[in-house]
Amino acid sequence: MNTEKKAGRAARRTFRMNPAMTAGIIIVGILALTAILAPVIAPCDPYQYGVPYEKPSADHLLGTNDVGQDIFSELLYGTRVSLLIGVFTSLVVTVIAASTALVAGYYRGWPDKLITAFTNVMMGLPNLALTTLLVAYLNPGKISIIISIALTAWTGTSRILRSRIIQLCEMPFIKIEKSLGVSDGVIMVKHLIPNLRDVILSRAALSVSNAMLTEASLSFLGFGDYGEKSWGNILHYAFYQKGVIRGFTWWYLPPILCIALSVMGFMLIGYYGAQRKEDGTDA
């Protein structure tokens, strides 16, 4: 069967990786481990108050902040929040994008026109401004951050998936299935989604990096979840509580590096994943 062959090829392709992607996966793996093991590795409770503005020492590897919380432990716990928001937002984004794209690309006609117009309208909104407005005026918390970011982030993925689905639906194997009377749901789940898997995954990785970036920006501006430690939050206090002006490198530099590195990690996976896909179809 044509489809099975295609699916098999897709599965084998997954294991061929380039160095950039390997680097991305290693970064993400380390992040995930840190997030899971944060309570085990962290030397102190990040919420515990203590002596403020301490320099790095054996007790506090990266010193303490303006209320005496251990910055190293803050960073470790921050991984959890940043990663959680990134991954969940990406999940929401991918589900919204995939379902709108499936409806638009598979059924065409008026649902397509409606969804397309709606996507266009959404794309016209300034993302960061709308997200900031929403986060500031909704009840603060992780869920409203996820909703606010996801609300504007799904359009790009939806666009790409829709045009891929339209291409796929022109292929003989889908047409045969359709004329055999296979139900729409089965075609979508068994044929369309497996064939789109690479695109979906690489777009999902990109949207994780985007969401982490937006979350960090929001927390840096002070619109994030106040009670939670996140990298943007640490940077916010470093910037507004004079950590940057006094040159406390150990306070502002680690969160910057963490944000940059993790965004880079997911970006590498997404960017090179997409390239690999194109190479695969060309061959």
Binding positions for another protein, rule: CB under 8 A: 116-117, 119-121, 123-126, 128-130, 132-134, 136-139, 159, 163, 166, 209, 213, 216-217, 220-223, 235, 239, 244-245, 247, 252-253, 256, 259-260, 263-264, 267, 271
What is the smallest separation between the CB atom of 114 and another protein, expressed in angstroms?
Answer: 12
Residue 169 has, within 13 A of its CA and on its CB side, a CA count of 18
DSSP per residue, 32-62: HHHHHHHHHH-SS-TT---STTPPP-SSSTT
Calpha distance 184→198 (Å, rounded): 21
Q: Which is nearer to another protein, 44 or 263 (CB)?
A: 263
Q: How far is the CB of 264 from another protein (least distance, A)?
A: 5
Question: Whole-number minimum distance, CB 48 to another protein, in Å?
Answer: 27
Class of residue 87 by CB neighbours under 10 A (exposed 0-12, middle 13-18, buried 19+):
buried
CA-based torsion, 189, 198, 206, 32: positive or negative: positive
* Nearest distance, CB of residue 137 and another protein, angstroms: 5
State the nearest-atom distance from the C-beta of 44 to another protein, in Å. Answer: 25
Residue 232 in contact with residue 215, Cβ under 8 Å? yes
> What are the CA-CA distances from residue 191 to residues 7, 168, 195, 282 (Å)?
9, 9, 6, 20
